Amino acid sequence: MEWITYYTGMQDLKDYKQHGITTILLAPESLASRVPQLNSWEEIETAVSLCRRLGLQAGIMLNRIYFDEDLEKLEEALDRIEALGINRIDYTDPAVYMRAKARGWQSLCFYNPDTLMCNTRDVQFYLDLGLGGVILSKEITLMEMQKIIASVHGKTELILFGHLVMAYSKRALLSAYQAEIQSDRDLSGKQDLVLIETTRQGRMPIVEDAAGTTIYTDYTLAAYAELKPLIASGAERFRLDNHFLKKEEFLDCLDGFHQVLAGQPAKKVMEERQARYPHLALSSGYMHQKTNLVKE
């Protein structure tokens, strides 16, 4: 079974390993987005070396939308990935797949378009390209996830925990707003900003970076009750997003999944975390919220 999260610093890798994480995703500057932090290639090289010493797998996030002027930098990134011996590339833009395919690296590619992988036919189409895996949409229900996992031939990956990406724009929305109100405050790159709607009390994290602006859910997905049913359907790969969380909070919530596997009631595990971290607004998300659309 594979447990995947994002790199948050060299100081955290040993703790992640001790708490069951098996794969760390690193994000190179100017080539990735929607991650806790971006890293220089020098830091990535050092982190990959430490991951290997700890027995952790390392992957690279190339999840931006790329334009013509970005392709040279993308090729340079693939050269660095080859030199580092990385065997996982998370991507969103088909340009990454096409460049990787030219090198015979289809099996290194993991497709994560955030919201599009909602039915068996789409998932199977991408798996038939020879990909290493496809990350299912987090907006579909538990039953729909189970059906996809059981129906397709190839590996799927599921998001079980974390603030979910709710909206993404290529535009620098925070900078545009600051210009509109004639403020010179620089909000780009800030990781501690939230939106609060006038009719709701939820706090939605918002981040603007070089790739655009991302808004996240005001709740934190914590699919404790859904873990065992997903495993029973054949799921083996689980992603836990540590974005916007203190390390101690994340590790404790991560431990909750292992407690469920060890036999503790999922309801009790969830209630304990909800009591300890009310500010996280832990929720099962869309897992049991059916839509009126057919996603066969």
In this structure, the answer to whether residues 112 and 199 fall within a common structural domain is no
Please report, for the domain that includes residue 223, its CATH number: 3.20.20.70
35-53: average pLDDT: 97
pLDDT of residue 143: 96
d(CA 35, CA 109): 18
Residue 189, pLDDT score: 86
Task: Tell me if 261 sits within 8 A of 199, measured CB to CB.
Answer: no
Does 87 fall in a domain?
yes
Domains held by the chain: number: 2
Same domain? 59 vs 155: yes
- State the pLDDT confidence band at 200, using cuts at 50, 70 and 90: confident
Among 38, 26, 21, residue whose Cα is nearest residue 84 = 26
Is there a domain that residue 46 lies in? yes
CA distance 114 to 6: 16
Considering the domain architecture, whether residues 59 and 199 belong to the same structural domain is answered as no
Does any domain span residue 287? no
Domain check: are 118 and 194 in the same one? no
Of 296, 293, 290, the residue nearest 120 (C-alpha):
296
Mean pLDDT within 90-102: 96
Residue 51 sits in the same domain as residue 186: no
Is the predicted pLDDT of residue 295 greater than 90, yes or no? no
Q: Mean of the pLDDT values across residues 168-187?
A: 91
185 and 68 assigned to the same domain: no
* pLDDT score at 181: 92
Kindly state whether residues 11 and 155 are assigned to the same domain: yes
Q: What is the mean pLDDT of the chain?
A: 94
- For residues 151 and 176, state if they share a domain: no
> Per the structure block, which two tokens stand in for 86?
């990385």
Q: Are residues 128 and 192 in the same domain?
A: no
In a domain, 110, yes or no: yes
How many residues does the structure list for the chain? Answer: 296
Q: Are residues 159 and 179 in the same domain?
A: no
Alpha-carbon distance 84 to 167, whole Å? 33
Position 27 scores a pLDDT of 97
| Residue 35 falls inside a structural domain | yes
Range of the domain at 17: 2-164+219-246
Give the pLDDT mean for 108-112. 97
Q: Tens of pLDDT along 263-283?
A: 999 999 999 999 999 999 999
pLDDT the model gives residue 163: 95
The token pair at 25 is: 């995703």
Compute φ and ψ for 260, nearest 5 degrees.
Answer: -60, -45
Section 223-229 average pLDDT: 98
pLDDT above 80 for 293: no
Region 29-38: what's the mean pLDDT?
93
In a domain, 296, yes or no: no
Q: List the alpha helices (DSSP H) in the chain.
A: 13-18, 41-54, 71-84, 94-102, 120-127, 142-151, 173-180, 224-232, 247-261, 266-276
How many other CB atoms are found less than 10 A from the CB of residue 132? 21
Higher pLDDT residue, 289 or 42?
A: 42
User: Residues 5-27: pLDDT tens digits?
Assistant: 999 999 999 999 999 999 999 99
The confidence score (pLDDT) of residue 239 equals: 97
Same domain for 89 and 198? Answer: no
- Paired sense of beta strands 165-169 and 212-216, if any: antiparallel
For residues 81 and 188, state if they share a domain. Answer: no
Residue 195: inside a domain: yes
| 91: in domain | yes
The pLDDT-based confidence of 249 (bands split at 50, 70, 90) is very high
- Answer whether residue 250 shows pLDDT above 70: yes
